[in-house]
Chain A
Amino acid sequence: MKKLILKIPLYLILMLLCLELLVRIFHLAKDTPTRYVDDYQVEKWEPNQNGFAVTGNRRQNFSEYRINSSGFNSYREFKSTKENFEIALVGDSFIEGFHQNYYNSIGKKIEKKLDTVSVFEYGYAGYDLADQLHLIHQYKEQFKNVDKVILGLKYENDLFRSKYQIEKSRLALNTPLNRMLKKSKLLVYTKSIGALNPLLNFINKIKNFRKTKTTIIKTATTIDVEVTARIANLNALIGLYGFNKTKYYFLLDETITPKLFLNYLDQNGYKYISIGHKLQQSTKNTTLIYDMHWNNLGREIIANEIVRYLNSENKDVLKMNNR
């Protein structure tokens, strides 16, 4: 018995070491850049970092990221000028685009189609509308010269808050303990492929053993109440940070946004670029495997829709060569 008790942990440790080695050799785990809160109280990535993002068990998607000096994933630096035409894309992980090579982002695709335009991508995973408007407000000097601002808006996630506060749960990912754990590529890999989920679910099951489950069934009335609450949040944020209706656009999936909310935007002169139908019309997959983020085709469609919308809106303003 003693022999077995000694042997099993020894084998386990050796195996874990070998697995760690294999995961590193095949580069199966993603690199994680360091995040921080800058002097303007904006949460973003520490400037000038490089690495690779990996999706899927068998490296189904492998892409390089580059955090620029402004703290966002982009091939370019953000320096707005009065002379040039600049577009800012502000949003969450879909705009941040770690799942694509940084030199093949939505911004880059727009620039390829409109070659006199520069696109600044202020994307950061988890950014909701409060984060986005707060960022624009804090970086007002930078945004003063930006000609168009496109805000990625997901109705389902982005309108829960009526004011900005630093998201502590996200920053907690940067604690010394978390940073240390992330040094184990095996741990990062197993977590990313969901292999730790059964264990985590089991722990949660035990934690919530005595708690009763309540399921909320969405009726027409609850949806109305929900939309009203989110519109109130939208108004509160706009009241706080301002919103230039001639310059700002929402980028949203109209197929998953309640009609009531879209009507409100229409009635109040908020412009939005719809992407849902175009994504649905595609005969090929527009998202990645193991990941809901847009793949190259998805990003191409988004870029096309943005360009199409801007072209139709700014025929005389935009002096650009449409390729």
Chain B
Amino acid sequence: MLFNSIDFAIFLPIVFLCYWYVFRQKVRLQNLLLLVASYFFYGLWDWRFLFLILASTIVDFFVGIYIARNNENPKNAKFGLYVSILFNLSLLGFFKYYNFFVESFTDMFQLFGYTIKSVWTLKIILPVGISFYTFQTISYSLDIYYKRINPTRNFLNFAAFVSFFPQLVAGPIERASNLLKQIEKKRSFNHDQIVSGLKLILWGLFKKMVIADSLAPIVDDIFANYPEYSSATLILGVTLFSFQVYGDFSGYSDIAIGTAKLFGIELMSNFKFPNFSRNVAEYWQRWHVSLSTWFRHYIYIPLGGSRVNKLISIRNIAIVFLVSGFWHGANWTFIFWGAFHAVAFIPVFLLGRNSIYKNSVVAQNSILPSIKEVFQVFITFVIVTFSRIFFRSESITDAFKYIKQIFTNVTYEVYAHPMGYRMIDYYILLAVFVVYEYIIRKDERNPFKFKSRTVRFLIYTLLIFIMLLFYDDGVDRSFIYFQF
């Protein structure tokens, strides 16, 4: 079930009303409802994969208890942890990476002149959201192992935590210390929280349906036919992809956070206006925050983080970015994308500028940014956008050919929309979007932070109006990050 579908528009109010009207007295019943609703929500994609979620839930629930029981016996605790990690990574490895490894293995032989016809590749469907919920359950076991949390003894609560439908298929990847704690506590109806959730849903839908969906046909066209296009068009293609993927994923995250709010649950922020980052380090503090912090807590810091010597720190950074790339997909394009970001991040780290923008935003105390900030934001956007050529290309060969074409076919042609629509509409749309995001850049949880109720109302109406203006019945509405 997609957030931007009529099915969800019917499903959500029903669950909401049952949650607050029928089951409001008992938190157990509310959690049971959340679990049933989540399994129904997920089962509409493919009910068979519910067994994977259930298996992951059962294993980690008992492993969690086992680790806590063996607190005094590190060997046993470690064994429990390994069971959890191995089980979840095996699921991920089989469904997501099996074919990649087989193909890479046969390709490697070809490189040395041997031709092996692969007979081991399988027709495997990637279960939606597997990368997200497996990481969430691994973090649960790790947190218990590191004694950050105590395991829950309530299976229902744990199952609801693993499968909580707003964030099940594409995050934010939550930690038990935040989400499970809220699931265990009684929630009370909070009007302001619900209104804030509805606002986030509206803003998320706008980003998805207007920014991402309307740019998708243009990006698809340019990336599919890149050998025919001039450098100007190719730059346009990847720039628009930058906005598309941002609109798509941050839109999804906003809807997820907003939906969770409707049930009295606060999820962590996943996007904090990454397009206004002043260096690559700040970008990673603003883009897909839940994944970045996951890697930071469970890979970077255990490896020594930045408290070791510079060389080891650089190695740690490289590992994190390579793993992050690999997490995104079983394709060399993602590994190159990760490597590219590592290369872009390391100089910032060496200059000691990786944390300087941690608690501030561009033009923190002024209306307009300084020239220096404009330049920094522009350079960061260019670097990040350039890396997206790897992210979007079908293969690593295509990515390099795309880049080569940018530098060799240096010409300018006016790009015509593949369906014949006016391109100027899209340029105006993006300009307005960037300006609006700049205005609201200080609070990603409140996209309509205006004092006047009339102004807020007019903005809601205008957003819906623009949604109609850019609505396309024929477009594929699924979210990009569902494939990861």
Chain A contact residues, CB within 8 Å of chain B? 1, 3-4, 7, 11, 14-15, 18-19, 22, 57-58, 60, 189-190, 193-195, 197-199, 201-202, 285, 289
Contact = CB atoms under 8 A, between A and B. Distances in A.
Nearest to A7: B195
B6 A199 contact: yes
Interface stretch (B74-82, B310-318, B419-427, B432-440): B419-427
Interface in B440-471: 457-458, 460-461, 464-465, 468-471
A197 to B, nearest CB: 6
Interface in B381-395: none
B460 to A, nearest CB: 7
Nearest to A60: B421
A194 B471 contact: yes
Contacts of B7: 202
A289 B457 contact: no
Contact of A57 (B10, B420, B468): B468
B25 interface: no
A58 B422 contact: yes
Interface residues of B, number: 27
Contact of B420 (A3, A15, A189, A289): A289
A195 B461 contact: no
Given A199-B6, A285-B420, A57 B457 contact: no
Contact of B191 (A4, A57, A202): A4
Report whether over half of chain A's contact residues are helix, strand or loop; otherwise say mixed.
Answer: helix
A1 B189 contact: yes
B17 to A, nearest CB: 10
Interface string B155-195: 00000000000000000000000000000000001010011
A14 B7 CA distance: 25
Contacts, number: 58
B464 A195 contact: no
Contacts of A4: 191, 194-195
Interface string B2-33: 00011100100000000010000000000000
Nearest to B7: A202
A285 B416 CA distance: 12
Contacts of A197: 473
B461 A15 contact: yes
A3 B473 CA distance: 35
A70 B185 CA distance: 74
Contacts of A18: 458, 461
Contacts of A22: 461, 465
15 contacts: A1-B20, A3-B191, A4-B194, A4-B195, A7-B195, A15-B460, A19-B468, A57-B469, A57-B472, A58-B469, A194-B474, A197-B473, A198-B6, A202-B6, A202-B10
Contacts of A58: 421-422, 425, 469-470
A189 B467 CA distance: 13
Nearest to A288: B420
B473 A195 contact: yes
Q: What are the nearest 9 A-B pairs in CB distance? A: A194-B473, A198-B6, A18-B461, A202-B6, A289-B420, A195-B471, A57-B469, A15-B461, A22-B465
Contacts of A190: 468
Contacts of B468: 19, 57, 189-190, 193, 195
A7 to B, nearest CB: 8
Given A19-B464, A22-B461, 8 more contacts: A1-B189, A4-B194, A15-B461, A18-B458, A22-B465, A58-B470, A194-B473, A202-B6
B5 A57 contact: no
A19 B464 CA distance: 8
B113 to A, nearest CB: 47
Contacts of B194: 4
Contact of A193 (B20, B419, B461, B471): B471
A87 to B, nearest CB: 32
A15 B464 contact: yes
A58 B429 CA distance: 13
A58 B369 CA distance: 34
Interface in B273-301: none
Nearest to A190: B468
Contact of B419 (A3, A14, A19, A289): A289
Nearest to B474: A194
Contacts of A1: 20, 189, 191
A202 B465 CA distance: 23
Nearest to A285: B420
Most buried by A among B6, B7, B464: B6
Contacts of A60: 421-422
A250 to B, nearest CB: 30
Nearest to A18: B461
Contacts of A198: 5-6
Of B194, B458, B461, chain A has the most CB atoms within 10 Å of the CB of: B461
Contacts of B419: 289
A289 B418 CA distance: 11
B464 A14 contact: no
A161 B469 CA distance: 39
A285 B421 CA distance: 12
Nearest to B420: A289
Nearest to B461: A18
Nearest to A14: B457
A19 B471 contact: no
Contacts of B458: 18
Contacts of A57: 468-472
B209 to A, nearest CB: 10
A57 B429 CA distance: 14
Contacts of B464: 15, 19
Contacts of B472: 57
Nearest to B5: A198
Contacts of A195: 468, 471, 473
Contacts of B465: 19, 22
B457 A11 contact: yes
Nearest to A15: B461
A60 B5 CA distance: 26
B195 A193 contact: no
Contact of B473 (A15, A193, A285): A193
